[in-house]
Amino acid sequence: MSETIKQFLYLNRKAPYGTIYAWESLEVVLIGAAFDQDVSLAFVDDGVYQLTKGQDTAGIGMKNFSPTYAALGDYEVKKIFVERESLEERGLSLDDLQHLVWEDEDDDYAEKDSIKLVSREEMTAIMDDADVVFSF
């Protein structure tokens, strides 16, 4: 077995509910997580709206898939990059987003933060470093 571990980056740039992109991306991430790859998620532009807390879709008759983001830790997705400039342009801060964590088995199941706030410049580097970028 000499399979190369590739760095996969899922780039999310769409708001939830208005279009199907956000949910499709989440589904692909969950399916892809079954394969041992190095997975990162990036939330840029309107994509940052996917992570807002307190979503309640009862009034619009659609499935609320925001709780599913909290399952990403179970799927070994530990790197979720959110672009600071995208948040600021939308009047949002980290406090407006869900608190996403993953459990570190090697550290007595300690919960560790998954979301990392990065600048646009850092995001550029993250995109450059990825072997494969999936865009949604």
Partner 1 sequence: MPIEVNGKSFDTDEEGYLANINDWEPGVAEVMAKEDDLELSDEHWDIINYLREYYEEYQIAPAVRVLTKAVGKKFGKDKGNSKYLYGLFPYGPAKQACRYAGLPKPTGCV
Partner 2 sequence: MSTLHTVNKSPFEKSSLDACLAHAGTGANVLLLEDGVYAATTGTAVEQRMKQALDSVKLFVLGPDLMARGLAEDRVIQGITVVDYAGFVDLAAENDKVQAWL
Q: Which residues bind partner 1 (CB under 8 A)?
A: 27, 30-31, 33-34, 63-65, 67-68, 70-71, 74-75, 109
Shortest separation between residue 28's beta carbon and partner 1, angstroms:
9
Q: From residue 103, give the alpha-carbon distance in Å to each of 10, 44, 51, 73, 106.
A: 21, 25, 19, 7, 9
Q: Record the tokens describing residue 17, joined without a space.
A: 């509910």
The DSSP output letter for 20 is: S
Our CB check for partner 1 shows the closer of 99 and 120 to be 99
Shortest separation between residue 21's beta carbon and partner 1, angstroms:
16
Q: Of partner 2, partner 1, none, which one sits near residue 78, judging by CB under 5 to 8 A according to partner kind?
A: none
